[in-house]
Chains A and B, each alone.
Chain A
């Protein structure tokens, strides 16, 4: 059974839409056709019944005519004693007997059948009497044939009455039947109309359902296409078992989605490799810079530089130029730190000393224009920080903050502890930075100018990046500026958690 259903299913799926539509149409037509056949068959059977009804009346009339023939021919014979009349009598009797043969002979409770039986029996009696009459006539027994003739005539009239009554009864019965027929025709009409209406409704429903089943994959297809148009490539594929036109389109669509998905996958992989390439490039650039530094370092023999500077300092001392001596010492310390600490961690104390050295050098260079104030908690001096972080910030504050201001430039360095963190604040009263620029700096998007001439070569961006990397957190540094000419404060936030 299941196999048959499956075969039918398969057959149905492999049909074309055109064929399916025709099949649906044919099916509904077939049902309506069957119903019509049913109607016609019933109407025909009814017409048949009406025919039967009238046939029985016709038969009775025939019987009555035949009986009249018998009576007439007998009367004729009695009147004329002609051989023709005798012959006529016999043939009439024969015919009448034949007709009687059709009548019912059993006893039943049906009036009509019982009357038939009575007619038959009475006719038998009547025919006996007529035969006797004919014989008496031949024997010229006038008395007898006259008496018998009267008897026969009475019987004849009784039989006729019976036949007429039967005719009436049958007619009554037939008209009853006719009424029944009329009523049943009306029934038929109602039933047929009801069936037709119901079947038409059903058919409409079926056609709707079937056409829906045919086009629903199309609707699904359109939905999927819309989803894809919106950018969602993760749509489910339309499942179509049918092998018709829609099935072909749906399959093509599914293939298209699959290949688009594949293509997108490929593009993603390409993008990733490209990114990796860029990263590599950046690392290369870092290496390059490193190499550049190494190169610069190797250009000067640091010991020679420091010895030379020390010699300069001694010379200045001997000549009594104390300030020059101090200046050269500071310079020597500054460069030594630069060379020594570039790749190591330093203490906060060492970093602050470097800032002192730097400020001293700059004050000599710019004749004491820079006012440097320190407010340092001595307990925090031994904290370990990455090297070369404070000096570039101070350098930045001088170069971009107070270099060109009209008023007296002040740099204030504060180291303090708050909660479980140490805060290093470098604050200037310079021109300030716009918020947008601060954001750019924090994101590392400011392209730093060539620093190699006016600084030790380390920019603010570099410091920020190193701090972020070193403490592995984003909020390690904060740049605060109230706006133009309002100064800038850079706060480094060093957590007290253990670090390498």
Chain B
């Protein structure tokens, strides 16, 4: 080894040592940061990472698990965000299962700023709504109204229009053998509401089909208040082979699903035409399979947004329209694929 190469060797040696030391130090630092980053990314829970709001609104519905109400809630939340408000789905995180009355009581005691409630004509509910209003809480009823209460506004579908839509669907599917039409009424709706829907259906059918009076339109009230009751009731109807209806109009998504399941289970597909109410994955696929003839879609998103807008409108201006209508659409075999696609997307990105 010559002197020159020896010197060069020395230089390389110093470089190598410096580099190794730098690498070791960098590696350690990098690992520390990498680990912290990993830890933070996993700890994404919002107990430490949350947003503050000015207003607190409560959403109270009778059945919290329905996808319909989920849609309403999600959209209400998004809409509320615009006004720096947060919507709480009261009862969602509670261990106990409470009815609307208790939830309303809780919401009032929680001193929220606004309540969106699926109304009912129950007197206790009405009284509680009145109490809330007296305490300065803005109350908006949604989908179902509490007409006797002092609620600020009602956001929902027009029962008359709904009846007309069903009537038109009945006219579309009826043939010479169609005789019995059964409307499954909700026990929680008021008689007035039921009457409006029923008469609207009847009017529509008779207007179009004046000569033919042989269509027998009946209503059955299904008990929605008690858990599982509606399913049993619908099954009874389907199993009653003699009085089997030709067309069955369901006015809730639970009823729709129960009717569909019962028809399939008792091999009555094709014998009974079901007109559904609202949609979920299984209702849509039933429409696709032509087990359910058509179903009504209520624009849940619009509904949620309207509720929040109504509260804000009232807080801002001191008044709001008494009734805010929500759009409905008929889902049939022709347009079901569009809804199915939406539903699938929702599943992928909840």
- Residues of A whose CB lies within 8 Å of any CB of B are 31, 34-35, 38, 42, 106-115, 117-118, 121-122, 124-126, 154-155, 158, 161-162, 164-165, 168-169, 173, 176-177, 180, 183-184, 187-188, 191, 194-195, 198-199, 202, 205-206, 209-210, 212-213, 216, 220, 223, 236-237, 239
- Bitwise interface map of B from 1 to 39 toward A, beta carbon under 8 Å scored 1, else 0: 111001101100100110011011101100110110011
Beta-carbon nearest neighbor of A167 in chain B: B95
4 closest A-B pairs by CB: A110-B50, A125-B109, A118-B110, A107-B53
**Taking A122-B110, A202-B20, A206-B17 as contacts, is the C-beta distance between A109 and B27 under 8 angstroms?**
no
The distance in angstroms between the C-alpha atoms of A195 and B26, with both chains bound, is 11
Interface hits, B257-308 → A, CB 8 Å: none
User: In the complex, what's the smallest C-beta–C-beta distance from A137 to chain B, in angstroms?
Assistant: 22
The distance in angstroms between the C-alpha atoms of A151 and B312, with both chains bound, is 31
Whether B43 pairs with A239 at a CB distance below 8 angstroms is no
Whether A110 pairs with B13 at a CB distance below 8 angstroms is no
Whether A118 pairs with B34 at a CB distance below 8 angstroms is no
Neighbouring A residues of B98 by C-beta, 8 Å: 161
**Taking A155-B109, A199-B24 as contacts, is the C-beta distance between A187 and B95 under 8 angstroms?**
no
Whether B24 pairs with A31 at a CB distance below 8 angstroms is yes
Q: Does B154 contact A (CB under 8 A)?
A: no
Beta-carbon nearest neighbor of B54 in chain A: A107
> 29 interchain pairs (CB within 8 A)?
A34-B28, A42-B35, A107-B52, A107-B55, A109-B46, A109-B53, A110-B50, A111-B93, A117-B110, A122-B109, A161-B95, A161-B96, A162-B94, A165-B96, A180-B42, A183-B42, A184-B38, A184-B39, A187-B35, A187-B39, A199-B24, A199-B27, A202-B24, A209-B13, A213-B13, A220-B1, A220-B6, A236-B2, A239-B7
Beta-carbon nearest neighbor of A184 in chain B: B39
The distance in angstroms between the C-alpha atoms of A202 and B42, with both chains bound, is 31
Beta-carbon nearest neighbor of B46 in chain A: A110
Neighbouring A residues of B28 by C-beta, 8 Å: 31, 34-35, 38, 195, 199
**Taking A108-B50, A206-B17, A236-B3 as contacts, is the C-beta distance between A115 and B86 under 8 angstroms?**
no
Whether B53 pairs with A184 at a CB distance below 8 angstroms is no
Contacts A158-B102, A213-B10 supplied; 18 other A-B pairs, CB < 8 Å: A38-B31, A107-B52, A107-B85, A108-B52, A114-B88, A121-B111, A126-B109, A155-B109, A158-B105, A158-B109, A161-B98, A165-B96, A168-B95, A169-B93, A183-B42, A184-B35, A210-B17, A213-B13
Q: Does B47 contact A (CB under 8 A)?
A: yes
- Residue in A107, A180, A194, A213 whose beta carbon sits within 8 Å of that of B86 in the complex: A107
User: In the complex, what's the smallest C-beta–C-beta distance from A324 to chain B, in angstroms?
Assistant: 87
Neighbouring A residues of B53 by C-beta, 8 Å: 107-109
Neighbouring B residues of A165 by C-beta, 8 Å: 93-96
Whether A184 pairs with B42 at a CB distance below 8 angstroms is yes
- Residue in B2, B86, B95 whose beta carbon sits within 8 Å of that of A109 in the complex: B86
Neighbouring A residues of B55 by C-beta, 8 Å: 107
Q: Does B45 contact A (CB under 8 A)?
A: yes
Beta-carbon nearest neighbor of A49 in chain B: B43
Q: Does B51 contact A (CB under 8 A)?
A: yes
The distance in angstroms between the C-alpha atoms of A206 and B19, with both chains bound, is 10
Neighbouring A residues of B6 by C-beta, 8 Å: 220, 239
- Residue in B3, B94, B95, B111 whose beta carbon sits within 8 Å of that of A239 in the complex: B3
The distance in angstroms between the C-alpha atoms of A154 and B99, with both chains bound, is 14
- Residue in A114, A195, A205 whose beta carbon sits within 8 Å of that of B31 in the complex: A195
Neighbouring B residues of A183 by C-beta, 8 Å: 42
Neighbouring B residues of A164 by C-beta, 8 Å: 95
Neighbouring A residues of B42 by C-beta, 8 Å: 180, 183-184
Neighbouring A residues of B106 by C-beta, 8 Å: 118, 122, 158, 162
Neighbouring B residues of A109 by C-beta, 8 Å: 46, 50-51, 53, 86
Neighbouring B residues of A176 by C-beta, 8 Å: 45
Neighbouring A residues of B111 by C-beta, 8 Å: 121, 124-125
Q: Does B179 contact A (CB under 8 A)?
A: no
Q: Does B56 contact A (CB under 8 A)?
A: yes
The distance in angstroms between the C-alpha atoms of A34 and B105, with both chains bound, is 59
User: In the complex, what's the smallest C-beta–C-beta distance from A442 to chain B, in angstroms?
Assistant: 47
Whether B86 pairs with A188 at a CB distance below 8 angstroms is no
Neighbouring B residues of A220 by C-beta, 8 Å: 1, 6
The distance in angstroms between the C-alpha atoms of A216 and B9, with both chains bound, is 10
- Residue in B1, B7, B10, B20 whose beta carbon sits within 8 Å of that of A206 in the complex: B20
The distance in angstroms between the C-alpha atoms of A223 and B7, with both chains bound, is 17
User: In the complex, what's the smallest C-beta–C-beta distance from A96 to chain B, in angstroms?
Assistant: 16
Neighbouring A residues of B47 by C-beta, 8 Å: 110, 112-113, 173
The distance in angstroms between the C-alpha atoms of A158 and B32, with both chains bound, is 46
Interface hits, B206-258 → A, CB 8 Å: none
Neighbouring B residues of A205 by C-beta, 8 Å: 20
The distance in angstroms between the C-alpha atoms of A407 and B23, with both chains bound, is 102
The distance in angstroms between the C-alpha atoms of A154 and B105, with both chains bound, is 10
Whether B43 pairs with A180 at a CB distance below 8 angstroms is yes
User: In the complex, what's the smallest C-beta–C-beta distance from B227 to chain A, in angstroms?
Assistant: 19
Neighbouring B residues of A155 by C-beta, 8 Å: 109
Neighbouring B residues of A158 by C-beta, 8 Å: 102, 105-106, 109
Whether B109 pairs with A191 at a CB distance below 8 angstroms is no
User: In the complex, what's the smallest C-beta–C-beta distance from A119 to chain B, in angstroms?
Assistant: 9
User: In the complex, what's the smallest C-beta–C-beta distance from B181 to chain A, in angstroms?
Assistant: 44
User: In the complex, what's the smallest C-beta–C-beta distance from A228 to chain B, in angstroms?
Assistant: 15
The distance in angstroms between the C-alpha atoms of A47 and B42, with both chains bound, is 16
Q: Which among B43, B55, B95 has the greatest number of chain A C-beta atoms within 10 A?
A: B95
The distance in angstroms between the C-alpha atoms of A121 and B31, with both chains bound, is 46
The distance in angstroms between the C-alpha atoms of A38 and B54, with both chains bound, is 42
Beta-carbon nearest neighbor of A112 in chain B: B47
Q: Which among B28, B34, B51, B109 has the greatest number of chain A C-beta atoms within 10 A?
A: B109
Whether A195 pairs with B94 at a CB distance below 8 angstroms is no
User: In the complex, what's the smallest C-beta–C-beta distance from A114 to chain B, in angstroms?
Assistant: 6
The distance in angstroms between the C-alpha atoms of A169 and B102, with both chains bound, is 20
Neighbouring A residues of B109 by C-beta, 8 Å: 121-122, 125-126, 155, 158
User: In the complex, what's the smallest C-beta–C-beta distance from A36 to chain B, in angstroms?
Assistant: 11
The distance in angstroms between the C-alpha atoms of A176 and B27, with both chains bound, is 30
- Residue in A173, A180, A209 whose beta carbon sits within 8 Å of that of B17 in the complex: A209
The distance in angstroms between the C-alpha atoms of A194 and B34, with both chains bound, is 13
The distance in angstroms between the C-alpha atoms of A194 and B30, with both chains bound, is 12
Neighbouring A residues of B24 by C-beta, 8 Å: 31, 198-199, 202
Q: Which among A110, A117, A188, A237 has the greatest number of chain B C-beta atoms within 10 A?
A: A110
Beta-carbon nearest neighbor of A238 in chain B: B6
Whether A161 pairs with B94 at a CB distance below 8 angstroms is yes
The distance in angstroms between the C-alpha atoms of A168 and B92, with both chains bound, is 13
User: In the complex, what's the smallest C-beta–C-beta distance from B197 to chain A, in angstroms?
Assistant: 35
Whether B3 pairs with A202 at a CB distance below 8 angstroms is no
Beta-carbon nearest neighbor of B111 in chain A: A121
